[in-house]
Structure 1
Amino acid sequence: MQTKIAANASAFRRWLAKSEETLGNHSDRLNAINIFPVADGDTGTNLYLTMRAANRAAQQNESSDLGVLLSAAAQAAMEEARGNSGTLIAVFLAAMAEPLQGATRLSAPLLAAALRRAQIRSWSALSDPIQGTMLSVLEAAAEGAVTADDALGGDDSNHALSVALDATVAAALEGVVRTEQQLSELQRAQVVDAGGVGLLLVLDNLRAVILHQELQANLLDGLAGYDVHKTHIHQSMSVIEGVEVMCTIALSPLDAANLRMKLDELGNSVIMSPMAQEGEQEIYRWRVHVHADEPDATLTAIRALGEPMNVTVAELRAATHDHADG
């Protein structure tokens, strides 16, 4: 029986629209289990708002080239990325776009290449990548797609794409389940990683849209901490002090490396990803994310190398639950 497939640019637009809708519907539960790297209960919100920016850009882009379309979506997502999870989902989209340049139809080999590229770019974007997070779920998904493609011998048929998509989501789900045991913070709280669940939902939306199916109704059943009757787990965690600084800045690769080293000294959760080349010289726009004790030293370090744009400074404490100290 021929598998019904829609793997063109129109399908990608529907994928991003459905991902925005799904992340919005699940944002409360994703927020509830968000305890790493900061128990600030905003992963669901950050993923939703970042994907909303990606979707809006995709709907306005009329290209039939999958890479061009996804690049436009990723660019918008990167500029409006919220938090660690939002920044990483934007990096995920940008990296997936690279092997898809010039393609008007997704295939199993292209899916494997896109997810492998996304895995590599996402891991390299962080100064201190950690297992048990969205990164390890993406790694699992990429392995699932590559293994399926290898077994299929590079078959670019609709049937092969269907098999690869199913394998990708199954592997991502296994990756989400493993996060609880990979990260001690998650194990103590008895939850899976919130960002990893968000990525799983995005991948299952890709599978569902292309195969003309619905999201798997029982996909998240049994995931640790995800029961809707459970309270917001982050509310039992200590209140976090400090700020989250995000911006866009034009830098050479050398200056970007120097800025990363300086931000590593000043804070943590450092994410830096190139967005686009500026002119003909080796200058790129970079999206920067860091958690720090206070913003002044961080912004001074950034401004020493260039003038940042689209700067946001958010109190980490403001995103956490309110309770009396002690």
Structure 2
Amino acid sequence: MTAKISTGASAVLAWLDGTVRLLGNHSDRLDAINIFPVADGDTGSNLYLTARTAHDAVSMLDVEDLGELLGLAGRAGMESARGNSGTLLAVVFAGFAEPLLGHRRLTGPLIAAGLDRARVRSWSALSEPVPGTMLSVIAAAADAAADTVMHSTTEPTSRAAAVEVLEAVCAAALQAVVATEAQLGPLATAHVVDAGAVGLLLVLDALRAAVTGEAFDEDRYAPLHGYGIQDPHLAASALPEAGVEVMCTIALSPLQAATLRAELDAVGESVIMTPVNETGDGYRWRVHVHVPREEDALEAIGRAGEPVNVSVTDLCTHEG
């Protein structure tokens, strides 16, 4: 029997639900190979918890506008995002949603536009974007979608065109994940692929499954070095990282946001700042940074405004 293709709001909800299930089922594997940018063994957990928050925020809503639905999920995920990977996943959802506003059906061109906007949002969120991570996967996916739309002879608004684009996206994303091993020194040394990149591949595979109605294919992940449950927990054997991860949400004008980003860049690493939603004279921003001492970040953030949803997490989550 041919699987039923779904492109409406039910497909977006199924995508979010499938993302939660896949990340939940595979979080231990992602945690095991999480050695970049910090070997704290929580990428899988952070992706899963962020995706679950995004899903739960909209799972009971009756909203037909795809952009509104996915945008609500993305903003909810951002408000309580966990770590680098969770923050970027929420940014991907929020970016993907923007071109979908006002539309009730996914099409090939809309998927391509959503992925392109997700790429722009995610790459611009980081002060120092690094290839060989989730960023490379979203870039490869966006390029594949755009190329497929440009050269396809299928009716652009047809369900078949949406499937054609998603097939190309997932194939390109898989190759991008395989390539991460050679793009980052720590991954090449450990002979593994990037954990966050695999996580985003799972998210894209969940989208494909939601639209096509076909089951998730575990065998596609066989070429990914280190991605076997029997592999040693590399993060647990890595040297502990000193410092803390600070996250918060804060309302800032564009100038204040630029100033805060510069100050956080001066005192820390892995700086991510991304707008959650507009305010009267600016945006509410989700902020993420790794610093040696929490005071280094909190003092700069406090000078900029009044943060909420502040969390401080020790980067050393395991014993050497």
**What band does the TM-score fall into relative to the shorter chain?**
over 0.9
Q: How many residues align?
A: 319
| 1:247-274, Cα deviation, whole Å (9 max, x unpaired) | 0000001100000000000100000000
Deviation at 1:2, TM superposition (A): 8.7
Query: Is the contact made by 2:33 and 2:234 (CA closer than 8 Å) also made in structure 1?
Result: yes
Deviation digits for residues 98-118 of structure 1 (CA, Å, limit 9, x no counterpart): 000001000000000000110
Shift of 1:217: 2.6
> 2: CA distance between counterparts of 1:177 and 1:137?
10
Deviation at 1:233, TM superposition (A): 1.0
The alpha-carbon deviation at position 300 of structure 1 amounts to 0.9
User: Contact 1:119/1:138 (CA < 8 Å) preserved in 2?
Assistant: yes
Identity %: 53
Q: CA deviation at 1:61?
A: 2.4
Which residue of the partner structure matches residue 84 of structure 1? 84
Counterpart of 1:316, as a letter, is L
Match of 2:130 in 1: 130
Q: Which residue is 2:297 aligned to?
A: 298
Residue 201 (structure 1) aligns with? 202
1:140 aligns with 2:140: yes
* Code of the aligned partner of 2:35: I
**CA-to-aligned-CA distance 1:128-160 (integer Å, 9 cap, x gap):** 001100000111111111111111267121111
Map of 2:66 onto structure 1: 66
Aligned equivalent of 2:150 = 150
Q: Which residue of 1 aligns with 2:313?
A: 314
2:191–2:225 CA contact under 8 A, matched in 1:
yes
One-letter amino acid of the structure 2 residue matched with residue 69 of structure 1: L
Distance 2:20 2:170 in 1: 18
Q: Which moved more, 1:154-163 or 1:121-130?
A: 154-163
Further displaced range: 55-64 or 98-107: 55-64
Task: Tell me the CA shift for residue 46 of structure 1.
Answer: 0.1
SS at match of 1:208: helix
Out of 179-188 and 147-156, give the one that drifted further.
Answer: 147-156
SS in 1 for 2:285: strand
Counterpart-to-counterpart distance in 2, 1:60 and 1:40: 34
Question: Does the aligned pair in 1 maintain the 2:91–2:121 contact within 8 Å?
Answer: yes
1:60 is displaced (CA, Å) by 2.9
Asked if 2 retains the 8 angstrom alpha-carbon contact of 1:132 and 1:193, the reply is yes
Q: Where do residues 109-128 of structure 1 align in structure 2 (5 Å cutoff)?
A: 109-128=109-128
The answer as to 2:25 corresponding to 1:25 is: yes
Measured in 1, the distance between the counterparts of 2:220 and 2:264 equals 38
Superposition TM-score, scaled by structure 2 size: 0.97
Residue number in structure 2 paired with 1:44: 44
1:182 & 1:151 partners in 2: Cα distance? 29
* Partner residue in 2 for 1:289: 288
Matched, 1:171 2:172: yes
> Superposition RMSD on alpha carbons, in Å?
1.3
Q: Who is 2:249 aligned against?
A: 248
Give the Cα–Cα distance (whole angstroms) in 2 for the partners of residues 194 and 2 of structure 1.
33
Paired letter, 1:109:
P
Instruction: Give the TM-score, by structure 1 length.
Output: 0.96
| 8 A Cα contact 2:68 2:101, kept in partner | yes
Query: Structure 1 stretches (4+) deviating beyond 3 angstroms?
Result: 1-4
Tell me, yes or no, if the aligned pair for 1:3 and 1:159 is still in contact at 8 Å.
no
Superposition deviation, residue 237 in structure 1: 1.2
Unmatched segments (≥5 aa) in structure 1: none
